[in-house]
Structure 1
């Protein structure tokens, strides 16, 4: 088994006349946390959406677990083992915590496995177990983010892609989210993480890519990016 779980090769994405992603190539090794950092509009979210075939690629390939998934429909990509937790949580406010979680397993018939997965996410997120009958819309912002993460894990993905999981959360909750991401990795799930909070992301990541206007301008081990003068000045707020 290759240690490379994901490879994106020369990815281009256009929105009409706008060239949003300009030849991005990146790799994610099995068992790692890899982060993409960059300003708004750098092409980070579009890259994740293109991997999932939620937006059309102009060109480029996506290899996952040794297979070319470039042209697979999104639901088959999920079945292959990639989960996406989109920016903004996107939970169902009028459904209970339990119903939100079961929406991630709506197409499955393996009831015993689903029960196991519920137990798995409740072990990771005990607060959700306490609120299992509560409507999603009545949860706090932090709890809604935990629910979004738990829902992303319900299909037991090999690779979980997270788009801005700490956005809009209070500092204490941000710390908790990053701790949960590390726990997810300890459970054997590889993580591809997009974060405006570059400092927090690089502290927990193994490897990082810096995006500017649709291109990768720098890549290195996360520990080295943390001390890179250009990264410190531009993304970490450290002069």
Structure 2
């Protein structure tokens, strides 16, 4: 579904990504793990065209995305749930969700998806008329994911969905990611919580200072000694 080929990205004098290659097959969960500054978020921003690549290709459903605007990518089914939630604080929960469907015209399907969001996130249904800025951090993360789903994505990209959440909420968010995947949505997941990400991922890539230093099936990386030492807090 998505292929990143020899992608290079620079920020001024910083070489953020160094010729990385990533493949996200349709119907799979793929995760990028690594420390802060490794290049994980730069990868997602490059896909969405928020950051311009220096060289390389980003291919989605056999189309080169180089001339695509971000809104065209959303229409094509690529949706990003950004780091830091980025909800509209002065709008209600329901208004935030409705904005997620702004490119859509299929009213019956929109209503069906809205009901699905309520099933996934019962707390959002209880707070439909509450302003998003008054929600807890966990509830805002649920809203950000729900808003992304209202765009009817084929490929859902999630940037640090567990960041800053209490352990119980982290578990809940990852259970919801599983449910979304079971509905047929392909997921590209960026996470610092390597253990949680690799437990649900079909395939994973380890990024260090803009380079992919390791890749493999999620369950294989989970037991890899180098990964355990560097990212799971376990010694060899």
State whether TM-score is above 0.5: yes
Distance of 1:27 and 1:52 partners within structure 2: 16
TM-score, length-scaled by structure 2: 0.97
* Residue 211 (structure 1) aligns with: 207
Report how far residue 123 of structure 1 moved. 2.0
Distance of 1:65 and 1:189 partners within structure 2: 14
Q: 1:98 aligns with which of 94, 100, 107?
A: 94
Matched position secondary structure for 2:9: strand
* Residue 147 (structure 1) aligns with: 143
Distance of 2:137 and 2:16 partners within structure 1: 30
Report how far residue 116 of structure 1 moved. 2.1
Distance of 1:120 and 1:96 partners within structure 2: 18
Residues 1:41 and 2:41 aligned together: no
Say if 2:102 and 2:151, in contact at 8 Å, map to a contact too.
no
Distance of 1:107 and 1:172 partners within structure 2: 34
Report how far residue 70 of structure 1 moved. 2.5
Q: 1:162 aligns with which of 158, 161, 173?
A: 158
* Residue 126 (structure 1) aligns with: 122
1:49-68 aligned at under 5 Å gives the runs 49-68=45-64
Distance of 1:91 and 1:172 partners within structure 2: 22
1:21-68 CA distance string (max 9 Å, x none): 110111011111111001100000000000010111111111112222
Residues 1:76 and 2:68 aligned together: no
- Tell me, which stretches of 5 or more residues in structure 2 are unaligned? none
Residues 1:24 and 2:20 aligned together: yes
1:91-142 CA distance string (max 9 Å, x none): 0111100001111223443333322221221222122111111111111111
Say if 1:53 and 1:71, in contact at 8 Å, map to a contact too.
no
1:181-219 CA distance string (max 9 Å, x none): 001100110110011100111111111000010010100
Report how far residue 76 of structure 1 moved. 0.3
Aligned-pair RMSD on alpha carbons?
1.0
1:215-237 CA distance string (max 9 Å, x none): 10100001110111100000110
Say if 2:104 and 2:151, in contact at 8 Å, map to a contact too.
no
Q: How many pairs does the alignment contain?
A: 235
- Tell me, which stretches of 5 or more residues in structure 1 are unaligned? none
